[in-house]
């Protein structure tokens, strides 16, 4: 199991002074770090339809970006190009292990593990990201420059590449295998690989109010909520027909606010919204479905493992009712199943001890077997 080694400061110090505040290099954050996937296997994944990937290079000094799937890489030559593959933790259990050392940040903030393979001189150019990222250096050396927050112009260097102007570096380092560079959102940065190299980026995404409101609107429409009409009985005589006066404005705001004040509605929205995945999952449905009893029996021998990238959460406002949210759906198992629901969401692997008594509940056992049959959880051989 990968362990994060902090030698210059404690985790508490990192969270208080760097997380979401400033970039920092964590030298040898992973001791003896080895690539969690080979460049060949990464290149193979980028040939798959369901996997999101991009190839970035320069031609006649102009930035170019191509979107996968790719058929072959021969035409790209020996240097100057980078292959970036998104959500590799969904496709490789070994890569999914890289999420575990970052468990000090909740999973609802996690985005994915993006991996890049670059040939000498390769990089994606100077840019700004909207997420926090821990860039873990795998094989090879890479030169990184990070600039400060500020007014950085952004522009499309290519239709699929948003770049920023050259910037002054506040961090200018060469990363070696096992080193980690943490960059919060908004800091311009650029990595240029010095030799064939692999970078493993664990990304954490935050949502804007506009993202959340649009998600809430979708949720409210889907679930047919918030249908109560705005009412204004005993309205006083209006004098300025064209005016939305202050008491009407208060009424409109109150109508909107009533949704946000509904704790259960917002809990169900947050659970469903954050448990949806952005990229496809590698769901291996069983050819021969198991019954609930067979699942309970198998759990006596083998651990039940959550498929990489599958998101499941509980929210304090509803967990007492045994409610959890899995891959965008709400499941309610009742108060007696609260501990099982918490175990299901908190742990990537579940043992017989953790689920045994909950599996006596027919509805829960049936749902777990449906999840196993659909490939959401699988038995470790």
Name the site residues for ligand SIN (rule: CB under 6 A). Answer: 82, 84, 116, 124, 129, 133, 135, 189, 191, 199, 201
Q: At a CB cut-off of 8 Å and minimum separation 6, what does 218 contact?
A: none
Alpha carbons 198 and 29: distance in angstroms, whole number: 16
97 binds Co ion (CB under 5 A): no
Q: Name the binder of 82 from Co ion, ligand SIN, none, CB < 5-8 A by kind.
A: ligand SIN
Alpha carbons 80 and 59: distance in angstroms, whole number: 9
Minimum CB distance to ligand SIN smaller for 163 or for 219: 163
186 binds Co ion (CB under 5 A): no
Minimum CB distance to ligand SIN smaller for 99 or for 135: 135
**Residue written as tokens 């290519």?**
158
What is the token pair recorded at 248? 């009407």
129 binds Co ion (CB under 5 A): yes
Q: How many residues does the chain have?
A: 381
Minimum CB distance to ligand SIN smaller for 84 or for 99: 84
H-helix or E-strand spanning residue 311: none
Q: At a CB cut-off of 8 Å and minimum separation 6, what does 300 contact?
A: 352
Q: Nearest approach, Cβ of 376 to Co ion (angstroms)?
A: 31
Q: Which of 139, 131, 135, 87 is nearest to 113 (CA)?
A: 87
Q: Nearest approach, Cβ of 218 to ligand SIN (angstroms)?
A: 28
Give the bridge partners for 205, in sequence order: 131
Q: Nearest approach, Cβ of 374 to ligand SIN (angstroms)?
A: 33
Alpha carbons 112 and 353: distance in angstroms, whole number: 30
Which string of DSSP letters, residue by residue, matches 334-353?
A: -GGGHHHHHHHHH-SEE-HH
User: Looking at residue 256, what DSSP letter applies?
Assistant: H
Minimum CB distance to Co ion smaller for 78 or for 153: 153
Q: Nearest approach, Cβ of 163 to ligand SIN (angstroms)?
A: 11
Q: Nearest approach, Cβ of 146 to ligand SIN (angstroms)?
A: 10
Minimum CB distance to Co ion smaller for 47 or for 161: 161
Q: Name the binder of 272 from Co ion, ligand SIN, none, CB < 5-8 A by kind.
A: none
65 binds Co ion (CB under 5 A): no
Minimum CB distance to Co ion smaller for 98 or for 295: 98
Q: Write phi, then psi, for 112 (nearest 5 degrees).
A: -165, 180
Q: Nearest approach, Cβ of 25 to ligand SIN (angstroms)?
A: 14
| Interface residue list for Co ion (CB under 5 A) | 129
């Amino acid at each position: 199991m990968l362990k994060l080694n902090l030698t210059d400061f404690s985790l508490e110090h990192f969270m208080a002074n760097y997380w979401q505040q400033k970039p920092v290099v964590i030298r040898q954050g992973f001791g003896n770090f080895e690539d969690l996937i080979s460049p060949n296997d990464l290149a193979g994944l980028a040939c798959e339809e369901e996997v999101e990937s991009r190839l970035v290079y320069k031609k006649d000094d102009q930035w170019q970006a191509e979107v996968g799937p790719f058929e072959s890489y021969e035409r790209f030559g020996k240097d100057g190009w980078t292959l970036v593959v998104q959500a590799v933790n969904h496709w490789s259990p070994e890569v999914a292990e890289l999420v575990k050392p970052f468990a000090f940040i909740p999973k609802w903030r996690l985005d994915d593990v993006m991996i890049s393979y670059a040939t000498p001189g390769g990089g994606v150019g100077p840019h700004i990201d909207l997420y926090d990222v821990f860039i873990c250096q795998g094989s090879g050396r890479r030169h990184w420059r990070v600039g400060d927050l500020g007014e950085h112009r952004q522009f499309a260097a290519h239709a699929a590449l948003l770049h920023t102007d050259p910037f002054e570096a506040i961090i200018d380092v060469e990363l070696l295998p096992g080193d980690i560079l943490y960059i919060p959102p908004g800091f311009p940065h650029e990595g240029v690989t010095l030799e064939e190299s692999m970078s493993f980026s664990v990304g954490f995404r935050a949502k804007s109010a506009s993202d959340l409101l649009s998600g809430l609107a979708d949720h409210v429409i889907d679930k047919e909520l918030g249908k109560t009409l705005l009412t204004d009985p005993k309205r006083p005589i209006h004098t300025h027909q064209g005016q939305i006066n202050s008491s009407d404005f208060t009424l409109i705001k109150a109508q909107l606010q009533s949704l946000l004040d509904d704790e259960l509605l917002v809990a169900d929205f947050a659970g469903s919204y954050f448990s949806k995945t952005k990229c496809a999952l590698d769901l291996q449905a069983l050819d021969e479905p198991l019954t609930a009893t067979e699942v309970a029996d198998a759990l006596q021998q083998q651990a039940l493992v959550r498929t990489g990238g599958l998101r499941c959460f509980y929210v304090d406002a509803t967990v007492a009712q045994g409610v959890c949210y899995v891959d965008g759906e709400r499941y309610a198992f009742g108060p007696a199943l609260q501990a099982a629901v918490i175990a299901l969401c908190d742990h990537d692997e579940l043992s017989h001890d953790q689920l045994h008594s909950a599996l006596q509940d027919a509805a829960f056992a049936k749902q777990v077997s449906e999840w196993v049959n659909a490939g959401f959880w699988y038995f470790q051989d």
